[in-house]
Copies of this chain bind each other. A is one copy, B any other.
Amino acid sequence: MAIIFSKKCEYGIQGVLYLALKGIGTVTPVEEIAEHLQIPREFISKILQELTSKKIIGSKKGKNGGFFLAKSPAKIKLYDIVIAIDGDAIFGQCVLGFPNCSGDYPCPVHDNWSKLIKETYAMLNAQTLDQFKDKVSLKIQNLGAKKKNVKVRPAN
């Protein structure tokens, strides 16, 4: 199975996107987020806690508490979320797993792959949450229906 981002990371991005939809400062309980995005409640809860500790979002404890966007969507990059959850290994590791792949001793696809990774990096850095709020709303509306009985990872 080849993947790009971990499930944690995917869910994290989806969750923050959802908070962005609700607008800056609007407090949303994890129950609603989990329900809407069809993500296991305790799992997304843990992820949002992690993003809270890394200051990407904020949280409010106690009754009527929940999570919220702590800063302007224009100031939150996809890159920030990816780095917070998955780290930066994707940007520095040899795609073929050669332990000492580098510019001096490149693996066969080093140059080609470097180009793709640079483009990915640029895209994640350029995309801030404010840039696609309308797209997300479409998306969110359309969730839920199809996600039932989906296996954690599709068969290989």
Binding site for B on A (CB under 8 A): 1-7, 9-11, 13-14, 17, 38, 78, 82, 86-87, 89-90, 93, 95-101, 105-109, 112-113, 116, 119-120, 123, 127, 131-132, 135-136, 138-139, 142-143, 145-147, 150, 154, 156
Contacts and interface: CB of A to CB of B under 8 A. Distances in A.
Given A7-B97, A97-B7, A138-B105, A87 B127 contact: no
By secondary structure, the A interface counts as: loop
Contacts of A13: 96
Nearest to A39: B97
A108 B90 contact: no
A6 B14 contact: no
A116 B120 contact: yes
